[in-house]
Amino acid sequence: MPQLNLDYDHFTLSAMLRACAGLSAIELGRQVHAYLIRKVYDVGSDVFLQSTLSEMYGKCGLVAKVFQVFSLLGLSFEGQKKRDVVLWSSMLGVYGRNGYFEEVILLYKEMLKEKIKPDEVAFVTVISACSHTGQVKLGIEYFESMTRGYKLVPGPEHYSCLVDLLRRTGKLDKAWEVVNEMLQKGHDNGSISMWCTLLSACVDLGNIELGKFAAQKALELDPQNAGIYVLLSNLYAKFGRWDEFGQLREMMKHGGLKKDAGCSWIEKKLRDAEISLPIVYGNAAFWLWEKGEWQSRKWKVYFHGARNKDLDVVIKLAVFSCIQVSITPRELWSPNHLNYGIRMG
Protein backbone atom coordinates (compact mmCIF):
# COMPACT_ATOMS: atom_id res chain seq x y z
CA MET A 1 0.00 0.00 0.00
CA PRO A 2 2.75 2.57 0.75
CA GLN A 3 4.20 1.89 -2.71
CA LEU A 4 0.83 2.94 -4.17
CA ASN A 5 0.77 6.05 -1.95
CA LEU A 6 -2.17 4.63 -0.02
CA ASP A 7 -2.47 5.26 3.71
CA TYR A 8 -3.57 2.67 6.23
CA ASP A 9 -6.97 3.35 7.79
CA HIS A 10 -8.60 1.84 10.88
CA PHE A 11 -10.17 -0.98 8.87
CA THR A 12 -6.85 -1.96 7.27
CA LEU A 13 -5.04 -1.92 10.60
CA SER A 14 -7.79 -3.99 12.25
CA ALA A 15 -7.44 -6.59 9.49
CA MET A 16 -3.64 -6.62 9.92
CA LEU A 17 -3.94 -7.14 13.68
CA ARG A 18 -6.46 -9.94 13.17
CA ALA A 19 -4.09 -11.65 10.73
CA CYS A 20 -1.23 -11.34 13.24
CA ALA A 21 -3.51 -12.85 15.90
CA GLY A 22 -4.41 -15.80 13.67
CA LEU A 23 -0.75 -16.49 12.91
CA SER A 24 0.49 -15.63 16.42
CA ALA A 25 2.94 -13.30 14.70
CA ILE A 26 3.78 -11.30 17.81
CA GLU A 27 6.65 -9.26 16.36
CA LEU A 28 4.63 -8.13 13.35
CA GLY A 29 1.73 -7.35 15.66
CA ARG A 30 3.96 -5.17 17.80
CA GLN A 31 5.07 -3.29 14.70
CA VAL A 32 1.44 -2.57 13.82
CA HIS A 33 0.83 -1.39 17.39
CA ALA A 34 3.88 0.87 17.16
CA TYR A 35 2.54 2.29 13.90
CA LEU A 36 -0.72 3.14 15.68
CA ILE A 37 1.21 5.01 18.37
CA ARG A 38 3.39 6.87 15.86
CA LYS A 39 0.35 7.98 13.88
CA VAL A 40 -1.40 9.07 17.11
CA TYR A 41 -4.58 7.25 16.24
CA ASP A 42 -7.36 7.72 18.78
CA VAL A 43 -7.63 3.98 19.35
CA GLY A 44 -10.05 4.60 22.20
CA SER A 45 -12.67 5.80 19.72
CA ASP A 46 -12.57 2.64 17.56
CA VAL A 47 -14.07 -0.39 19.27
CA PHE A 48 -12.97 -2.81 16.54
CA LEU A 49 -9.38 -1.61 16.67
CA GLN A 50 -9.43 -1.93 20.45
CA SER A 51 -10.75 -5.49 20.45
CA THR A 52 -8.44 -6.71 17.66
CA LEU A 53 -5.42 -5.22 19.44
CA SER A 54 -6.41 -7.09 22.61
CA GLU A 55 -7.12 -10.24 20.61
CA MET A 56 -3.69 -10.13 18.96
CA TYR A 57 -1.79 -9.94 22.26
CA GLY A 58 -4.17 -12.42 23.90
CA LYS A 59 -3.77 -15.11 21.24
CA CYS A 60 -0.02 -14.74 21.58
CA GLY A 61 -0.36 -15.38 25.32
CA LEU A 62 0.81 -11.94 26.45
CA VAL A 63 -1.93 -11.52 29.03
CA ALA A 64 -0.23 -8.78 31.06
CA LYS A 65 0.22 -6.78 27.86
CA VAL A 66 -3.47 -7.18 27.05
CA PHE A 67 -4.47 -5.84 30.45
CA GLN A 68 -2.10 -2.91 29.97
CA VAL A 69 -3.73 -2.16 26.62
CA PHE A 70 -7.18 -2.62 28.17
CA SER A 71 -6.38 -0.13 30.94
CA LEU A 72 -4.99 2.48 28.55
CA LEU A 73 -7.69 2.06 25.94
CA GLY A 74 -10.31 2.70 28.57
CA LEU A 75 -9.34 6.37 28.57
CA SER A 76 -10.11 8.86 25.83
CA PHE A 77 -7.90 11.84 25.11
CA GLU A 78 -10.07 13.82 27.55
CA GLY A 79 -9.32 11.27 30.29
CA GLN A 80 -12.89 10.06 30.48
CA LYS A 81 -13.54 6.32 30.76
CA LYS A 82 -15.53 4.93 27.88
CA ARG A 83 -14.96 1.19 27.79
CA ASP A 84 -17.96 -0.56 26.27
CA VAL A 85 -19.18 -4.13 26.61
CA VAL A 86 -17.17 -5.29 23.56
CA LEU A 87 -13.87 -4.27 25.15
CA TRP A 88 -14.80 -5.78 28.52
CA SER A 89 -15.90 -9.04 26.89
CA SER A 90 -12.68 -9.11 24.87
CA MET A 91 -10.59 -8.80 28.05
CA LEU A 92 -12.67 -11.51 29.74
CA GLY A 93 -12.11 -13.77 26.73
CA VAL A 94 -8.33 -13.25 26.85
CA TYR A 95 -8.24 -14.23 30.52
CA GLY A 96 -10.45 -17.25 29.86
CA ARG A 97 -8.49 -18.58 26.86
CA ASN A 98 -5.22 -18.33 28.77
CA GLY A 99 -6.44 -20.06 31.93
CA TYR A 100 -6.77 -17.00 34.18
CA PHE A 101 -10.15 -18.10 35.51
CA GLU A 102 -10.03 -16.33 38.87
CA GLU A 103 -9.23 -13.10 37.04
CA VAL A 104 -12.25 -13.64 34.77
CA ILE A 105 -14.59 -13.67 37.76
CA LEU A 106 -12.92 -10.66 39.41
CA LEU A 107 -13.02 -8.65 36.17
CA TYR A 108 -16.66 -9.59 35.60
CA LYS A 109 -17.55 -8.26 39.05
CA GLU A 110 -15.63 -5.07 38.26
CA MET A 111 -17.56 -4.83 35.00
CA LEU A 112 -20.85 -4.93 36.89
CA LYS A 113 -19.61 -2.24 39.28
CA GLU A 114 -18.95 -0.03 36.25
CA LYS A 115 -22.64 -0.52 35.30
CA ILE A 116 -21.73 -2.29 32.06
CA LYS A 117 -24.48 -4.66 30.93
CA PRO A 118 -22.86 -8.02 30.06
CA ASP A 119 -23.63 -9.60 26.70
CA GLU A 120 -23.94 -13.26 25.70
CA VAL A 121 -20.19 -13.54 25.04
CA ALA A 122 -19.33 -12.32 28.54
CA PHE A 123 -21.67 -14.89 30.10
CA VAL A 124 -20.07 -17.76 28.19
CA THR A 125 -16.65 -16.76 29.53
CA VAL A 126 -17.66 -16.19 33.14
CA ILE A 127 -19.75 -19.38 33.45
CA SER A 128 -16.85 -21.35 31.96
CA ALA A 129 -14.51 -19.72 34.50
CA CYS A 130 -16.81 -20.80 37.33
CA SER A 131 -16.65 -24.31 35.91
CA HIS A 132 -12.85 -24.39 35.96
CA THR A 133 -12.67 -22.98 39.49
CA GLY A 134 -15.34 -25.29 40.92
CA GLN A 135 -17.71 -22.46 41.87
CA VAL A 136 -20.93 -24.28 41.01
CA LYS A 137 -23.33 -22.08 42.95
CA LEU A 138 -21.87 -18.88 41.51
CA GLY A 139 -21.92 -20.30 37.97
CA ILE A 140 -25.59 -21.25 38.28
CA GLU A 141 -26.37 -17.78 39.65
CA TYR A 142 -24.69 -16.15 36.66
CA PHE A 143 -26.56 -18.45 34.27
CA GLU A 144 -29.93 -17.67 35.86
CA SER A 145 -29.15 -13.94 35.90
CA MET A 146 -29.09 -13.93 32.09
CA THR A 147 -32.88 -14.14 31.89
CA ARG A 148 -33.76 -12.77 35.31
CA GLY A 149 -31.54 -9.71 35.36
CA TYR A 150 -30.59 -8.95 31.75
CA LYS A 151 -33.42 -10.41 29.63
CA LEU A 152 -30.97 -12.48 27.58
CA VAL A 153 -31.91 -15.87 26.16
CA PRO A 154 -29.28 -18.56 26.92
CA GLY A 155 -28.07 -20.33 23.80
CA PRO A 156 -26.56 -23.81 23.31
CA GLU A 157 -23.09 -22.49 24.18
CA HIS A 158 -24.34 -21.28 27.59
CA TYR A 159 -26.02 -24.61 28.29
CA SER A 160 -22.79 -26.33 27.24
CA CYS A 161 -20.87 -24.30 29.85
CA LEU A 162 -23.48 -25.17 32.49
CA VAL A 163 -23.24 -28.88 31.64
CA ASP A 164 -19.45 -28.67 31.96
CA LEU A 165 -19.86 -26.90 35.31
CA LEU A 166 -22.00 -29.76 36.63
CA ARG A 167 -19.78 -32.41 35.02
CA ARG A 168 -16.70 -31.23 36.86
CA THR A 169 -18.50 -31.65 40.19
CA GLY A 170 -19.85 -35.12 39.37
CA LYS A 171 -23.50 -34.06 38.97
CA LEU A 172 -24.30 -36.05 35.84
CA ASP A 173 -28.04 -36.35 36.55
CA LYS A 174 -28.32 -32.60 36.96
CA ALA A 175 -26.34 -32.08 33.75
CA TRP A 176 -28.81 -34.30 31.87
CA GLU A 177 -31.71 -32.27 33.32
CA VAL A 178 -30.09 -29.11 31.95
CA VAL A 179 -29.77 -30.67 28.48
CA ASN A 180 -33.42 -31.77 28.56
CA GLU A 181 -34.49 -28.29 29.62
CA MET A 182 -32.63 -26.77 26.68
CA LEU A 183 -34.18 -29.18 24.18
CA GLN A 184 -37.67 -28.52 25.53
CA LYS A 185 -37.15 -24.79 25.00
CA GLY A 186 -36.73 -25.41 21.28
CA HIS A 187 -32.99 -25.04 20.76
CA ASP A 188 -33.09 -27.49 17.85
CA ASN A 189 -30.70 -30.39 18.55
CA GLY A 190 -28.26 -28.54 20.77
CA SER A 191 -24.65 -28.05 19.78
CA ILE A 192 -21.59 -30.22 19.20
CA SER A 193 -19.85 -28.77 22.24
CA MET A 194 -22.82 -29.51 24.51
CA TRP A 195 -23.19 -33.15 23.44
CA CYS A 196 -19.43 -33.73 23.57
CA THR A 197 -19.32 -32.22 27.05
CA LEU A 198 -22.09 -34.58 28.14
CA LEU A 199 -20.29 -37.50 26.48
CA SER A 200 -17.06 -36.57 28.26
CA ALA A 201 -19.00 -36.48 31.54
CA CYS A 202 -20.29 -39.99 30.87
CA VAL A 203 -16.73 -41.20 30.26
CA ASP A 204 -15.52 -39.64 33.52
CA LEU A 205 -18.49 -40.70 35.64
CA GLY A 206 -19.27 -44.05 33.99
CA ASN A 207 -22.69 -43.90 32.32
CA ILE A 208 -22.51 -45.89 29.12
CA GLU A 209 -26.13 -45.63 27.98
CA LEU A 210 -26.33 -41.86 28.32
CA GLY A 211 -22.88 -41.62 26.74
CA LYS A 212 -24.00 -43.58 23.67
CA PHE A 213 -27.05 -41.33 23.35
CA ALA A 214 -24.90 -38.19 23.59
CA ALA A 215 -22.49 -39.58 20.97
CA GLN A 216 -25.40 -40.38 18.63
CA LYS A 217 -26.73 -36.82 18.92
CA ALA A 218 -23.28 -35.33 18.38
CA LEU A 219 -22.67 -37.50 15.29
CA GLU A 220 -26.00 -36.40 13.83
CA LEU A 221 -24.64 -32.86 13.87
CA ASP A 222 -21.13 -33.73 12.66
CA PRO A 223 -20.68 -37.29 11.32
CA GLN A 224 -17.03 -36.66 10.35
CA ASN A 225 -15.87 -35.47 13.77
CA ALA A 226 -13.15 -37.92 14.81
CA GLY A 227 -13.09 -36.54 18.36
CA ILE A 228 -16.58 -37.91 19.02
CA TYR A 229 -15.48 -41.41 17.98
CA VAL A 230 -12.42 -41.15 20.23
CA LEU A 231 -14.54 -40.17 23.25
CA LEU A 232 -17.01 -42.99 22.56
CA SER A 233 -14.19 -45.52 22.17
CA ASN A 234 -12.78 -44.34 25.51
CA LEU A 235 -16.19 -44.99 27.06
CA TYR A 236 -16.28 -48.53 25.63
CA ALA A 237 -12.73 -49.18 26.85
CA LYS A 238 -13.60 -48.01 30.35
CA PHE A 239 -16.36 -50.61 30.59
CA GLY A 240 -14.27 -53.34 28.93
CA ARG A 241 -16.54 -53.58 25.91
CA TRP A 242 -13.73 -54.40 23.54
CA ASP A 243 -15.93 -55.70 20.71
CA GLU A 244 -17.67 -52.34 20.37
CA PHE A 245 -14.31 -50.62 20.84
CA GLY A 246 -12.80 -52.59 17.95
CA GLN A 247 -15.80 -52.03 15.70
CA LEU A 248 -15.65 -48.30 16.32
CA ARG A 249 -11.94 -48.16 15.52
CA GLU A 250 -12.57 -50.10 12.30
CA MET A 251 -15.29 -47.62 11.35
CA MET A 252 -12.83 -44.79 11.88
CA LYS A 253 -10.19 -46.56 9.82
CA HIS A 254 -12.47 -47.33 6.87
CA GLY A 255 -14.01 -43.87 7.01
CA GLY A 256 -10.60 -42.22 6.91
CA LEU A 257 -11.23 -40.53 10.24
CA LYS A 258 -8.20 -39.64 12.31
CA LYS A 259 -7.90 -37.24 15.17
CA ASP A 260 -5.52 -34.41 14.37
CA ALA A 261 -2.28 -34.36 16.29
CA GLY A 262 -1.53 -31.42 18.52
CA CYS A 263 0.35 -28.71 16.71
CA SER A 264 2.19 -25.60 17.84
CA TRP A 265 4.42 -22.98 16.29
CA ILE A 266 7.71 -21.43 17.27
CA GLU A 267 8.57 -17.95 16.05
CA LYS A 268 12.35 -17.63 16.04
CA LYS A 269 13.70 -14.33 14.74
CA LEU A 270 10.58 -13.80 12.60
CA ARG A 271 10.81 -17.32 11.12
CA ASP A 272 7.90 -19.66 11.80
CA ALA A 273 8.37 -23.38 12.38
CA GLU A 274 5.63 -25.93 12.91
CA ILE A 275 5.90 -28.37 15.83
CA SER A 276 4.09 -31.67 16.26
CA LEU A 277 3.53 -32.64 19.89
CA PRO A 278 2.29 -36.22 20.32
CA ILE A 279 0.61 -37.21 23.58
CA VAL A 280 3.44 -39.06 25.29
CA TYR A 281 4.64 -40.09 28.73
CA GLY A 282 8.07 -39.91 30.31
CA ASN A 283 10.78 -38.80 27.91
CA ALA A 284 8.90 -37.32 24.98
CA ALA A 285 9.98 -37.09 21.39
CA PHE A 286 10.09 -33.47 20.30
CA TRP A 287 10.01 -32.87 16.60
CA LEU A 288 10.47 -29.76 14.54
CA TRP A 289 9.38 -29.46 10.94
CA GLU A 290 12.02 -27.51 9.09
CA LYS A 291 13.35 -27.60 5.53
CA GLY A 292 11.01 -30.42 4.55
CA GLU A 293 12.21 -33.08 6.96
CA TRP A 294 11.71 -34.16 10.54
CA GLN A 295 14.59 -33.43 12.86
CA SER A 296 15.12 -33.70 16.59
CA ARG A 297 16.15 -30.32 17.97
CA LYS A 298 16.84 -28.46 21.20
CA TRP A 299 15.30 -25.04 21.56
CA LYS A 300 15.28 -22.21 24.06
CA VAL A 301 11.61 -21.33 24.58
CA TYR A 302 9.84 -18.65 26.62
CA PHE A 303 6.29 -19.68 27.49
CA HIS A 304 3.55 -17.09 27.73
CA GLY A 305 -0.02 -17.43 28.89
CA ALA A 306 -2.00 -20.49 29.77
CA ARG A 307 -2.15 -21.68 33.33
CA ASN A 308 -4.79 -24.34 32.72
CA LYS A 309 -3.77 -27.43 34.71
CA ASP A 310 -4.69 -29.89 31.96
CA LEU A 311 -2.54 -28.02 29.46
CA ASP A 312 0.28 -27.74 31.98
CA VAL A 313 0.41 -31.53 32.35
CA VAL A 314 0.63 -32.15 28.61
CA ILE A 315 3.14 -29.37 28.08
CA LYS A 316 5.40 -30.73 30.81
CA LEU A 317 5.20 -34.24 29.37
CA ALA A 318 5.56 -33.31 25.73
CA VAL A 319 7.87 -30.33 25.92
CA PHE A 320 9.74 -29.80 29.17
CA SER A 321 10.94 -33.42 29.28
CA CYS A 322 12.70 -33.01 25.97
CA ILE A 323 13.58 -29.33 25.49
CA GLN A 324 16.86 -28.34 27.08
CA VAL A 325 17.09 -24.63 27.73
CA SER A 326 20.24 -23.17 26.22
CA ILE A 327 20.83 -19.43 26.38
CA THR A 328 23.52 -17.72 24.37
CA PRO A 329 24.46 -14.03 24.66
CA ARG A 330 23.31 -13.37 21.11
CA GLU A 331 19.83 -14.77 21.80
CA LEU A 332 19.20 -12.96 25.08
CA TRP A 333 17.70 -9.91 23.36
CA SER A 334 15.47 -11.92 21.03
CA PRO A 335 13.48 -14.60 22.89
CA ASN A 336 11.73 -17.25 20.86
CA HIS A 337 7.96 -17.34 21.03
CA LEU A 338 5.99 -20.58 21.25
CA ASN A 339 2.30 -20.65 20.47
CA TYR A 340 0.86 -24.02 21.37
CA GLY A 341 -2.42 -25.44 20.13
CA ILE A 342 -2.55 -28.84 21.80
CA ARG A 343 -5.75 -30.77 21.22
CA MET A 344 -7.11 -32.38 24.38
CA GLY A 345 -9.22 -35.49 24.81
User: What tens digit of pLDDT does each residue of 240-297 get?
Assistant: 899 998 888 888 888 887 766 555 555 554 444 444 443 333 333 333 333 333 333 4
Identify the CA nearest to 201 among candidates 168, 238, 236: 168
Given a contact cutoff of 8 angstroms between Cβ atoms, the answer to whether 223 and 251 are in contact is: no
Identify the CA nearest to 262 among candidates 164, 344, 177: 344
Given a contact cutoff of 8 angstroms between Cβ atoms, the answer to whether 10 and 41 are in contact is: yes
Q: What is the pLDDT of residue 305?
A: 40
Could you tell me where the DSSP H helices lie in the chain?
A: 10-23, 26-38, 47-59, 63-73, 85-97, 101-113, 120-133, 136-150, 156-167, 172-184, 192-205, 208-221, 226-238, 242-254, 309-315
Q: What is the pLDDT of residue 40?
A: 57
Identify the CA nearest to 167 among candidates 133, 211, 120, 200: 200
Go through the domains of the chain in sequence order and give each one's CATH number.
Answer: 1-82 (no CATH), 84-153 (1.25.40), 171-257 (1.25.40.10), 262-341 (no CATH)
Q: What is the pLDDT of residue 20?
A: 86
Q: Please give the Cα distance from 53 to 33 (Å, whole number).
A: 8
Q: What is the pLDDT of residue 4?
A: 58
CA torsion sign for 227, 232, 235, 237 is negative
Name the stretches of the chain with pLDDT < 70.
1-6, 40-47, 72-82, 186-188, 259-345
